[in-house]
Amino acid sequence: MINKNPKSFKDLNKRQGFTLAELVISVGLFTILMSIAVGGFIQAMRNQRMIISLMAINDGMSLTMEQMAREIRTGYNFCTKNYPITTLSECNSLNNSEIQFVNANNQVVRYRLSNSGIEKGIGEEIGGGFIYNKITADNVDVKNLNFRLSGNNANDKYPPRITVGVSFSSNSPDVKKLNISIDAQTTISARIIDT
């Protein structure tokens, strides 16, 4: 005998099938919940990708800053735009995101911002040209690079101090959408002190 008014699932089982309305509602509910779940899953994957690319640019930039800091720390004869050395004529052409100095191997070295990356240039001779190589990874988008120098003159009674400010982001489209920019800064005190 078919129960016309089912009170529980047990009664429901006794019936021969589902009505069209029941089927439509259950399939509809299932679809809604599944679309939320899949949407959430896709979002989670996107977030994971974004965090990975953010960590990748942090690691890359950390290596670059470390290399610059180490070379500056052991360098001498610094010049920047705010602090040109008048005796070195090529210092006058520097812009705000360039620094020139002589490193521990007595090479004339320049760091500069170029094409959203940081480049290191090694000068063949004083007054000669520089051969530049990019030292940041391609996934790093360097927006800003600033050098500030102080205490660089002889007899100024201060040791050279170089402050490096860098603003960077990622070239990955996931990070670009969020407009995240990291403004990092560090100061280096040259270990070869002047007078």
Interface with other proteins (CB under 8 A):
6-9, 12, 29, 33, 36-37, 40, 43-44, 47-48, 50-51, 54-55, 58, 61-62, 65, 144, 146, 148, 150-151, 157-159, 161, 163, 165, 167, 178, 180, 182-189, 193-195
Nearest approach, Cβ of residue 121 and other proteins (Å): 22
Q: Quick one: CA torsion of 49, 53, 59, 64, rounded to 10 degrees?
A: 170
**Cβ atoms of 17 and 26 closer than 8 Å:** no
Nearest approach, Cβ of residue 125 and other proteins (Å): 30
169 vs 53, 59, 130, 172, 173, CA distance in Å? 10, 12, 27, 9, 11
Nearest approach, Cβ of residue 114 and other proteins (Å): 18
Q: Which is nearer to other proteins, 123 or 151 (CB)?
A: 151
Q: Quick one: CA torsion of 34, 40, 46, 47, rounded to 10 degrees?
A: -160
Tokens 């205490």: give the residue. 151
Q: Which is nearer to other proteins, 137 or 180 (CB)?
A: 180
Q: Which is nearer to other proteins, 9 or 20 (CB)?
A: 9
Closest CA to 61 of 175, 178, 145, 161: 145
> Chain-centre distance of CA 85, in angstroms?
32
Q: Which is nearer to other proteins, 27 or 51 (CB)?
A: 51
Q: Which is nearer to other proteins, 97 or 103 (CB)?
A: 97
The C-alpha angle 80, 133, 119, rounded to 5 degrees, equals: 35
Q: Which is nearer to other proteins, 20 or 154 (CB)?
A: 154
Backbone CA torsion sign across 86, 89, 93, 98? negative
Nearest approach, Cβ of residue 31 and other proteins (Å): 13
Nearest approach, Cβ of residue 104 and other proteins (Å): 17
